[in-house]
Amino acid sequence: MRSEFEETIRYSQTDGNLRLTVPALLDFFQDAATFQAEEAGVGVNVLNSKGLGWFLVSWNVEITRMPEHGEKIIAGTFPYRFHGRFGNRNCYLRTPGGDYIAKADSIWAMMDKVQGRIVPIPEFVGAAYEVEEPLLMDYQGRKILIPDGMEAGEPIPVLAEHIDFHGHVNNSRYLGMVQDFIPKEGISGFRVEYKAQTRRGEILVPYHYEDDERVIISLRCGDEVRTNIEFLRPASRKA
């Protein structure tokens, strides 16, 4: 069961080259997933009324190109597996003609928000969706290998603008915090591994590493890793 919506890339979603930003790309993916949940009758308010919520575990994104200001695109999504406490979902951007320009694999966990723990996906949630065959892409593991000797950057205060309905930093806002680390030559994809929730008033410190193939950032609060991010340089993506 696919869900899609058409959009025009707006100026406010673009960078200095008038191309879609990485946080805005994730916003499209997240919006597609939440729109589909509403259509299926298991949206945010329904789950919240039962003390439940979907929480992202990881993103694995492949990028052919970033769309430009004024370009019409179609954002879409579908689940391809539910298993135990986790759901797997593909998201994508495509042209109106059907060409994929970005693909994503994502892992989501069902959280009991009252008890603060991951729980099995309720039957009524899984039954609301129809799974499809996964997209053809490079399905990498969610774990990002963190090298030794990472350099600490400037601390980042967590502000109200970073917080979403669930009371913690929204998944795309982490990417907004590290945009200065994105390679200037662009990227062919990225991965994000969410480790722990971050709330307003906390301070995150970005630890940074880069080589010829990738740039890695580990966002930490004290000694605790909150989110790991890996950007792939254009030449590093396997054909």
What values do phi and psi take at 162, rounded to 5? -85, -15
Which H or E element spans position 74? strand 72-83
Q: What is this structure's pTM? A: 0.94
CA gap 76, 30 in Å, rounded: 10
Q: What are the pLDDT digits (tens) for 132-178?
A: 999 999 999 899 999 998 999 999 999 999 999 889 999 999 999 99
Q: Classify burial at 116, counting beta carbons within 10 Å of its beta carbon; exposed 0-12, middle 13-18, buried 19 or more.
A: exposed
Asked whether residue 239 carries a pLDDT value surpassing 60, the answer given is no
CA gap 239, 230 in Å, rounded: 18
Establish whether domains 1-137 and 143-239 are of one fold: yes
Cβ contact 138:210 at 8 Å = no
Identify the band that residue 1 occupies on the pLDDT scale cut at 50, 70 and 90.
confident
Q: What are the pLDDT digits (tens) for 77-116?
A: 999 999 999 999 999 999 999 999 999 999 999 999 989 8
**What Å distances lie between residue 149 and 153, 175, 180, 208, 221, CA to CA?**
13, 22, 20, 9, 18
Say what the pLDDT of residue 237 is: 57
Place of tokens 């004290």: 222
- Please count the helices (runs of H) and the strands (runs of E) in the chain: 4, 12
Among 3.40.50.1360, 3.10.129.10, 1.20.810.10, 3.90.1640.10, what is the CATH number of 1-137?
A: 3.10.129.10
Cβ contact 192:174 at 8 Å = yes
What fold is seen in the domain 143-239? Thiol Ester Dehydrase; Chain A (3.10.129)
Place of tokens 């709330």: 199
Could you state, in order of their start, the residue ranges of all structural domains in the chain? 1-137, 143-239
